[in-house]
Structure 1
Amino acid sequence: MALLLKAKNKAVEAYAVMRDMTEFNQLVEELDNEFNDSWQPLDFDSGLAVLDEGKSEVLEFAVVGVSAADEQNLNIVTEYILKAKRIGLPVVLVVKDVNPAALHQLMRLGADDFIPYPIPDGALRDSFVNLRDRKVNNAEPEEKRKKRRHGFVLPVYGVAGGVGASTFAVNLAWELATASRKSDKRVALLDFNFQFGSVATYLDLPRREAIYELISDPASMDHDALAQALTSFKSRLAVLTSPMDALPLDIIAPEDVQKLIDIARDSYDFIIIDMPQALVHWSDNVLKAAETYFTVLEIDMRSAQNTLRFLRALKAEELPFEKVQFILNRAPGFTDMSGKARVKRLGESLGVSLDVLLPDGGKPVAQACDQGLPLSEVAAKNPLRKEVRKIAEALLEQVEADKAAVAT
């Protein structure tokens, strides 16, 4: 007797409505990247019929493609926009060779945004992010909007150069930002290696002059000063890069580091801090503020010896060792039994638990860093990317679980 497994239909998160889909091939690719298979292509007649069913909880947008050929009969386009707005569905227009008068008419009917075709890089994603933010802000009362977020501080420290700490920090921050795109969770990535930080390089971001002003003038350090120093990556991740010039690590005092972290915690739900390898006079402030202190090492003698020095420093200063979560990068594969035995011996000799094992991502990791993109944008199926995403999802689930526990 055969068992028929019925595939579960994915809920539709967006409608793409247009007269001729072949005119908007780039739009199809952009929607695939944004929603995978959770969007539905429709012509205008089908689109109007679907709206009669109402708006589901997961349905977010209607993307309406309008070309010059549609100007002869804008009535069906205007009818769709009006109907979508009546059920509270945001409408994004993608316009191809449409004259300004027709575009003005459609926007006055209630379209929320418009994007020219061909679509500029990142424009569609930015539009979705802005509309999601607008929805959250409109739904929340003013008092709640001004409420502090009390973000989770997650520093990333590499016990030796080249162990992959900065790569892990950048990709963890990006995975958190993308995994929480439908919620109001905000993510910031702070590069505290003020001399030779790599975050700007790995995300191809400019180093702003305002960063030096922020850390060199603690008296003026506030939410506005931090906002001016931050750079946005793809409208989802706020990034504080290292300064333009190499600065001494003691340019900022411990109390000012604490102040900077507190300001970031007020505005963001997750604060990933890429730490310098050197232990400085404000390192303990970061450790004390951390929810979890990720410490990255490799399975080699250099990492083992530096880890022992790091552990001795923590014990000597009576710092909260229990916050440290060791991560073994470039760990042996599942079938490498001798490698797994080495991992076990390393953990036993150091007296630590090596629970988080990251696989070797190979050449695509270095290529992604050189291109200034997260690994998910270059090699989405890379095993390292998959493990980092699992960690990000576990962090999000833990936050939601803690939030639910507090609510009850």
Structure 2
Amino acid sequence: MGPGLAPLARGPLFGAALESAGLERLAEARRASVDLALVDVEEHEPQALTAALDALAASGQAPPVLLVGARLPAGLVRAAMRLQSDVLEPPYSDDQVREAVFGLLDAAGAEATAAAESTSRCWSVVGAVGGAGATTLAIEFAALLAARANRDHAVCLIDLHLADGAAAAYLGAAAAMGLAEFGPAAERMDAALLAAFTTPIAKGLDLLACPRDPLAFEQISKDAVLRILEIACEAYEFVIIDMPRHRRPWTLEVLAGSDEIFVVSELTVPALLAARALAGEIEAGLPVGVRTRIVLNRLASRMFGPAPSMAEAERALERKAEAGISSDWEAAAASVNLGGPISQHRPKSKIVRDVAGVVDRLLGVQTPAARRSGWRPRRAA
């Protein structure tokens, strides 16, 4: 980008497949089709170039960026730090160009290899309506997976209801994630810092949750949320996310990076209609082929009352449900009041049995794979 770089095509970059482009192309560049973006800083207005770099970083799929120029503005430097980037200050030699280019390409290749070898799995759980039981199911998924793993740091349960999450209260635990500390240090976050804010729940199960704070969503950036998930997926075999149902700036990126997406609904007509709409909205915002799994919660016998059957519910959903979870109010209430998963206090509950069936089915067909999208570390050069 920038006609001043044209001589490089006949010099140190001779033989490379090159494309001359403008800022709009930079913002749309993705590592799947572009190996490296080479930008002449002095050819572009700083604010416009900064905005393009910000858009590139937000994609989660940015190629490495090599900036050529002297005296870069501070805002531009901050934007570049969100990417895998380097700066080349003129005058420079052909060898310096080659060293910078191959350094970025080697780093990107090593990162892609590490990502491809990742075997961690991320499941996101979101309620179609308030009170559908999504938090309860997220806890039971996490507790069951941790019990089966029977080793430390197997499962991390992350409550992204940042303002009013209930996972800590359900588990009788303290919420320890400090958003004020995370915000300014998003790019410097590492496993040690993340571990300082996790709460051990049981062998193999850790909780990451925030204390109640009505301003919490405004205090943490999208970059910080995605960075938390990056680190968690590097440190744990399973990451279970309790998602807010109202969309946030990071919602689609979190869901796009999840291996499974569960939409939890009650068996009421309004809840079923909301589940159908929410599942459609999520799938419309994600890559083609990504499907949500609708879980019908609190199934009960129809001997008394007008509750829909599974077949009637699926007609309202206009799709098959992934599973039904039986109603067991006494077990759920006792566990919440005592603090802990239902599987701990009422291991023979029908809820535990049904959740185990869902986990067995998914683990039986699922093989370890890389994330679908972008919680890759974006390290500054």
Q: Please confirm whether the aligned pair reaches a TM-score higher than 0.5, indicating the same fold.
A: yes
What amino acid sits opposite 1:382 in the alignment? S
In structure 2, the CA distance between the partners of 1:148 and 1:300, relative to structure 1 (3 Å rule), is same
What amino acid sits opposite 2:323 in the alignment? V
Report what 1:177 is aligned to.
146
Secondary structure in 2 matching 1:277: coil
Report what 2:314 is aligned to.
347
1:159 maps onto 2:128 in alignment: yes
Report what 2:181 is aligned to.
213
Instruction: Verify the 8 A CA contact 2:156 2:239 in the aligned structure 1.
Output: yes
Alignment of 1:28-67 (within 5 A): none
Aligned with residue 375 of structure 1, among 342, 347, 354: 342
Instruction: Verify the 8 A CA contact 2:179 2:219 in the aligned structure 1.
Output: no
Aligned with residue 332 of structure 2, among 354, 357, 365: 365
Structure 1: 5+ residue stretches without partners: 1-146, 404-408
Tell me by how many angstroms 1:266 deviates.
0.8
Alignment of 1:8-407 (within 5 A): 149-181=118-150, 186-208=154-176, 210=178, 212-215=180-183, 217-314=185-282, 316-319=284-287, 322-333=290-301, 342-398=309-365
In structure 2, the CA distance between the partners of 1:212 and 1:360, relative to structure 1 (3 Å rule), is farther
Tell me by how many angstroms 1:223 deviates.
1.4
In structure 2, the CA distance between the partners of 1:284 and 1:250, relative to structure 1 (3 Å rule), is farther
Deviations 1:233-256 (A, max 9, x none): 123201101235333435333333
Instruction: Verify the 8 A CA contact 2:122 2:233 in the aligned structure 1.
Output: yes
Instruction: Verify the 8 A CA contact 1:214 1:220 in the aligned structure 2.
Output: no
Tell me by how many angstroms 1:297 deviates.
0.2
Report what 1:96 is aligned to.
none
In structure 2, the CA distance between the partners of 1:320 and 1:186, relative to structure 1 (3 Å rule), is farther
What percent of counterpart residues are identical?
24
Rounded Cα–Cα distance in structure 1 between residues aligned with 2:121 and 2:296? 22
Tell me by how many angstroms 1:328 deviates.
0.1
After TM superposition, the score normalised by the length of structure 2 is: 0.60
Deviations 1:354-407 (A, max 9, x none): 13000001222012012111112211111111111233344444457889xxxx
Deviations 1:99-123 (A, max 9, x none): xxxxxxxxxxxxxxxxxxxxxxxxx
Deviations 1:235-286 (A, max 9, x none): 3201101235333435333333222212111111110000112121211011
RMSD of equivalent CA atoms: 3.0
What amino acid sits opposite 1:160 in the alignment? V
After TM superposition, the score normalised by the length of structure 1 is: 0.56
Tell me by how many angstroms 1:185 deviates.
7.4
Rounded Cα–Cα distance in structure 2 between residues aligned with 1:364 and 1:247? 34
Tell me by how many angstroms 1:287 deviates.
1.2
Instruction: Verify the 8 A CA contact 1:149 1:269 in the aligned structure 2.
Output: no
Rounded Cα–Cα distance in structure 1 between residues aligned with 2:352 and 2:297? 12
Instruction: Verify the 8 A CA contact 1:298 1:330 in the aligned structure 2.
Output: yes
Rounded Cα–Cα distance in structure 2 between residues aligned with 1:216 and 1:325? 36
Rounded Cα–Cα distance in structure 2 between residues aligned with 1:402 and 1:165? 25
What amino acid sits opposite 1:180 in the alignment? A
Tell me by how many angstroms 1:332 deviates.
3.4
Rounded Cα–Cα distance in structure 2 between residues aligned with 1:241 and 1:159? 21
What amino acid sits opposite 1:158 in the alignment? G
In structure 2, the CA distance between the partners of 1:311 and 1:295, relative to structure 1 (3 Å rule), is closer
Rounded Cα–Cα distance in structure 1 between residues aligned with 2:141 and 2:210? 18
Rounded Cα–Cα distance in structure 1 between residues aligned with 2:368 and 2:286? 30
In structure 2, the CA distance between the partners of 1:312 and 1:251, relative to structure 1 (3 Å rule), is farther
Secondary structure in 2 matching 1:364: helix
Secondary structure in 2 matching 1:388: helix
- Between 1:266-275 and 1:323-332, the stretch displaced more is 323-332
What amino acid sits opposite 1:359 in the alignment? S
Instruction: Verify the 8 A CA contact 1:188 1:239 in the aligned structure 2.
Output: yes
Rounded Cα–Cα distance in structure 1 between residues aligned with 2:317 and 2:177? 42
Residue-pair matches, total: 255
Instruction: Verify the 8 A CA contact 2:129 2:274 in the aligned structure 1.
Output: yes
Instruction: Verify the 8 A CA contact 1:264 1:271 in the aligned structure 2.
Output: yes
Secondary structure in 1 matching 2:196: helix
Instruction: Verify the 8 A CA contact 1:159 1:306 in the aligned structure 2.
Output: yes
Which of the pair has the greater relative contact order for Cα pairs under 8 Å at 6+ separation? 2
